[in-house]
Structure 1
Amino acid sequence: MPAYSGSTSQTQPHSQAVTVPPALAVPVIEATFPRRLHPYWPQLQEKSRTWLREMRLMPPDKVERYADSLCYTDLVAGYYIGAPDELLTAIADLSSWFFAWDDRHDRDSVHGRAAQWRLLCRGLHDALDAPHEYLRHRDPLVAGFADCVRRLYSFLGPSWNARFARHFHPVIDAYDQEFRNRRDGVVPTVATYVELRRLTFAHWAWIDLLEPTARRELPDAVRKHPAYRRAALATQDFSAWYNDLCSLPKELAGDEVHNLGISLIHHEGLTLEEAVREVHRRVTQCVTNFLEAEEEVLLFARNLSRRTARGKELAEAVESCVDNMRNWFSSVYWFHHESGRYRVDSWDDRSMPPYVTEDVLAENELVGEE
């Protein structure tokens, strides 16, 4: 039986039918958040395939067979409209790397490869602080991460770079916490999971990347403005929880313990159907929260623009950031119905994605141990 039965039909950017099961449909997204794609997207697909091969993050045959259908470049090309082509390429590669890292996390957890996992986490922390020193690391995940970080650090300067690193170190630690939870069979409470998910989804790192897209680092007074933070949190919580909603069948099949729906079932006593409805309710509330905060942020930007020429430039950067926060909703939404990453009902083994090659993961980890 399909994970989510029934469907509604929409049209994706490639003029192909997209199936959205009613349990996953968010009408406000379909009605008022139009899908946009960066014009560089076609070139981005080709560059992404090349990068995945060169970094050995996927075997060449699987790159050719699955890379485009996974739609990783579509996702990012819908997030960061207006980004310079070189920046968008670096962000797209970071996103592809993130999915590969998530797959390694899953397989290491399943097979209990604790020593290899600890070594990987240490390498990622080190690469974040000194990316140039890890470009030739023998673990493809460390080298690929170093390459992405090196490129991202070239756009705005030391203070933004330091902030990005401050935001990403806890992401690595949160993935390590999930590794330990999974090995011990610990299902986080709902409140604990919500906070952990904000780290494993890398909420603030993705928000940081709005600034080089706008070609300007935002001062603390703007980034820490309550409405700006509420808008940012709403778009990221939506993205994380909608991912949980769509990946729930995949993660139940793989004995995962980290999913908002799983926490609701385990700790709140909800049935699967009730948990799906509750996650859907929270997802929809995120859209409402964003729309309320968006109005405040745009008013704040207008007030900035009236003060000085510098204020006008800053206001334009804020407007760019908030506009791209809005783009997250449609891009995340349609990505989950376009990407082969969530088509668990079509897999031969519902617990093992066909785009992951187990022996390659193990080989890479053994190389990293040497």
Structure 2
Amino acid sequence: MIEAAFPRQSHPYWPRLQEKTRAWLLEKRLMSAEQVEEHADGLCYTDLMAGYYLGAPDEVMQAIGDYSAWFFVWDDRHDRDIVHRRPLAWDRLRTRLHTALDRPQDHLRHEDPVVAGLADSVLRLYRFLPDTWNARFARHFHTVIEAYDREFRNRTEGYVPAVQEYLDLRRLTFAHWIWTDLLEPSAGIELPDSVRKHPAYRRAALLSQEFAAWYNDLCSLPKEIAGDEVHNLGISLIAHEGLTLEEAVAEVRRRVETCVTEFLVAERDALRFADGLADGTVRGKGLSLAVRACLANMRNWFSSVYWFHHESGRYRVDSWDDRSTPPYVTNEAAGEK
């Protein structure tokens, strides 16, 4: 379904992006030299972004690629803090991330590499568009950090959220609006609220992100069951809807496929909306072209997410020595000195 309707594409900068992000992870101490050598390319973090933000200037592509790699490292740190019961370390990191997001220039040399890495990556992202975009990005990411805190509490307490509660939280832990925000520097323009919040644009954006989040749940279900997880749509369906594992997999797959078919309809509506923005003025033409560029990349998200989940070492759980412990993470209590 994906391979037929969403041809795979990649930003021409990708080989350089992969090389520079590898160096950045090492420079910022987010991965050890051994981890970078053994795992960085196979995790395909840069492949995911290079398949999404086509048309972005190389400098924007690099900033997004580094931020995305940081996001995965942070996600793994959060997971290890949960697995090893480190609530004090997590609370400290959460507070520091909120502060670094608001004042990145003051945290570039922070002792904790995850804090310093966020500061460096967002400071670069903040250079491309006006302060109003920066404030929106920060506001959205503050919400993501707090959603990660809710996930921390749920997992440490063994609480499985009900299906709708999980879906609402998943939009935040997957950072739906962060990845959507980053479409704008890729297109070189901050979209006005009247465009971003228009139902046609917003529905297409939401469906592309919902597909990604639920496909992630589908592909990561074996890993998360092995790790005694509680945050997965399939797990919520089993716990609260009484489905068997096989039925839950089928239901998640059905929802994923529905996202695809509904996006194709929403895309047509959004393209008509984009055409209507071209009102004969220079500004109108610019907005129309920008929305079309953003929609094209929403479409690219489907193929990029699909291939990422089939190629990245993050989901090859059957090849791990310990199915509950990824080989590309370390278990020390980072930042808890």
TM-score after normalising by structure 1: 0.90
1:213 corresponds to 2:178 = no
The yes-or-no answer on 1:122 pairing with 2:95 is yes
The aligned residue for residue 5 of structure 2 is 32
1:112 is matched with which residue: 66, 72, 85?
A: 85
Would you say 1:139 and 2:133 are equivalent positions?
A: no
Determine whether 1:248 maps to 2:218: no
Q: Deviations over 1:348-367 (max 9, x none)?
A: 100001111213xx2x2224
Shift of 1:157: 1.3
Deviations 1:234-286 (A, max 9, x none): 00000001000000000000111100000001110111110011000001111
In the other structure, the counterpart of 2:37 is: 64
Q: Is the counterpart of residue 351 in structure 1 residue 324 in structure 2?
A: yes
CA–CA separation in structure 2 for the residues paired with 1:358 and 1:56: 15
The reply to whether residue 322 of structure 1 matches residue 322 of structure 2 is no
Which residue pairs with 2:335 in the alignment? Answer: 365
Per-residue deviation, 1:138: 0.8
Q: Which residue among 20, 30, 42 is the counterpart of 1:47?
A: 20
Which residue of the partner structure matches residue 258 of structure 1? 231
C-alpha distance in 2 between matches for 1:307 and 1:168: 36
**Does the residue aligned with 2:10 lie in a helix, a strand or coil?**
coil
Using the size of structure 2 for normalisation, the TM-score is 0.99
Kindly indicate whether residue 308 of structure 2 is the aligned counterpart of residue 338 of structure 1.
no
Cα contact 1:230–1:289 (8 A) shared by 2: no
Q: Are 1:192 and 2:187 matched, yes or no?
A: no
- Does residue 1:226 correspond to 2:196, yes or no? no
Conserved 8 A contact 1:80-1:213: yes
CA–CA distance in structure 2, aligned partners of residues 176 and 306 of structure 1: 45
2:123 to 150, 172, 193: 150
User: Is residue 297 of structure 1 aligned with residue 270 of structure 2?
Assistant: yes
Instruction: Report whether the alignment pairs 1:75 with 2:48.
Output: yes
Alignment partner of 1:311 is 2:284: yes
**CA deviation map 1:158-208 (0-9, x unaligned):** 000011011111100000000011111100000000000000011001100
- Per-residue CA deviations over 1:29-75 (Å, capped at 9, x if unaligned) read 11010000000000011101101111111111110011001000000
Alignment match of 2:153 (pick from 180, 184, 194) = 180
Deviation at 1:93, TM superposition (A): 0.9
276, 280, 286: which is aligned to 2:253? 280
What is the rounded CA distance, in whole Å, between the counterparts of 2:291 and 2:281 in structure 1? 15
Q: Report how many aligned residue pairs link the two structures.
A: 337
| Contact 1:124 1:145 (8 Å CA) reproduced | yes
* Structure 1 counterpart SS, 2:326: coil
